[in-house]
Amino acid sequence: MIAITAPKKGLGQTVVSINLAIRMGSLLEDRVLLIDSNKYCCGVVDYLSNSSWTRGLDEFKINIESGMGIGQNPHSWSKTINPRLDIMASNQYLQLIEKDIEKLKEYTNCNYPIALVDTIAGENSLTDIFLKKSSIVIVVLTQNKSEIRLIKDKRLYGELKDKIIFVINQYQAEINAIKIRYGLKEISEELKELGFKQNPIFILPYDVDLVNECNDSTLLNFSMAREHQSSPYHKKLDLLARETLKQHGNLVLTNNIEKVKKKGFVFNLFNL
């Protein structure tokens, strides 16, 4: 399980979760699960599902408590968005406790190569459970100095520092040729000062197409469209997805195929 979080809301955490899930699904050539755990915003469902009712964490908890095994009804708690992505809606009525998250982890381990959780940003006890139970925590930031202070204030980030990957979202090196002083270098220096010395830091550039697709409720177009794939945003997203998969222990098949192809080519030449 991989948790996506942020020191406060509005930094683009849900969009990162969706795009990363889809990119990982394509790299793995398999369907991944994205769990919405934010009952206050329901961002994942709002961006991706036009049905008013999407199955998710409430149904999961009810069924598990009534004695249903995790392998019994594997796809009755999620909605399939496309061949690379299933989503689970956040709990709306029931409170989740640690035991539920453990069961959820068991369920995702059995049914998906990878599961991502879009958490509630900032201070929240359910988010803390998800962060502790996840093998990787992706912390989304932007170029705002006040966010570094929030990182410092949240002690759990420090405790979990070995599994944190930082993402600076909506990154702009300069606006109208004026260099922004609070850039990657300054942010990484400040994070190092807070003790995050070895943590990978990725950037995801500001992308105007992404803003438009979000406003038109067509984010999936942006995530899936082939013509976007060479954009700076998608190139950086690809790097983030590969590193996350590597840390999570998943093989990225495309690399292996490239290697196998190269070997095959050498072999053919030799035979000639």
Q: Which residues bind ligand ADP (CB under 6 A)?
A: 6, 9-15, 43, 169-170, 204, 206-207, 210-211, 214
Residue 224 in contact with residue 22, Cβ under 8 Å?
Answer: yes
Residues 6+ positions from 147 with CB-CB distance below 8 Å:
7, 8, 11, 141
Q: Is 266 helix (H, G, I), strand (E, B) or coil?
A: helix
**3-state helix/strand/coil string of 131-176:** HHHCCEEEEEECCCHHHHHHHHHCHHHHHCHHHEEEEEEEECCEEC
DSSP code of residue 227: G
- In the complex, minimum distance from the CB of residue 219 to ligand ADP, in angstroms, rounded to a whole number: 8
Nearer to ligand ADP, 14 or 199 (CB): 14
Q: 15's torsion region: left (phi>0), alpha (psi -120 to 50) or beta?
A: alpha
What single-letter DSSP state applies at residue 228? G
Q: Which of 5, 14, 170, 244 binds Mg ion (CB under 5 A)?
A: 14
Residue 266 CB, nearest approach to Mg ion (Å): 49
What's the closest the beta carbon of residue 221 comes to ligand ADP, in angstroms? 14
Cα(269)–Cα(243) distance, rounded to whole angstroms?
34
The nearer residue to ligand ADP, 24 or 64, going by C-beta atoms, is: 24
Select the binding partner of residue 37 from ligand ADP, Mg ion, none (C-beta < 5 to 8 A, by kind): none
Task: Give the nearer residue to ligand ADP in terms of CB position, either 111 or 124.
Answer: 124
The least distance separating Mg ion from the CB of residue 99, rounded to whole angstroms, comes to 25
User: Is residue 17 involved in binding Mg ion (CB under 5 A)?
Assistant: no
DSSP assignment string, 241-252:
HHHHHHHHT---
User: Which of the listed partners (ligand ADP, Mg ion, none) does 170 bind, with a CB threshold of 5 to 8 Å by partner kind?
Assistant: ligand ADP
Judged by CB under 5 A, the chain residues 32 through 51 that form the site for Mg ion are 41, 43
Q: Cβ closer to ligand ADP: 214 or 239?
A: 214
* Smallest distance, Mg ion to C-beta of residue 72, A: 31
Size of site (CB under 5 A) for Mg ion: 3
Site for Mg ion, rule CB under 5 A: 14, 41, 43
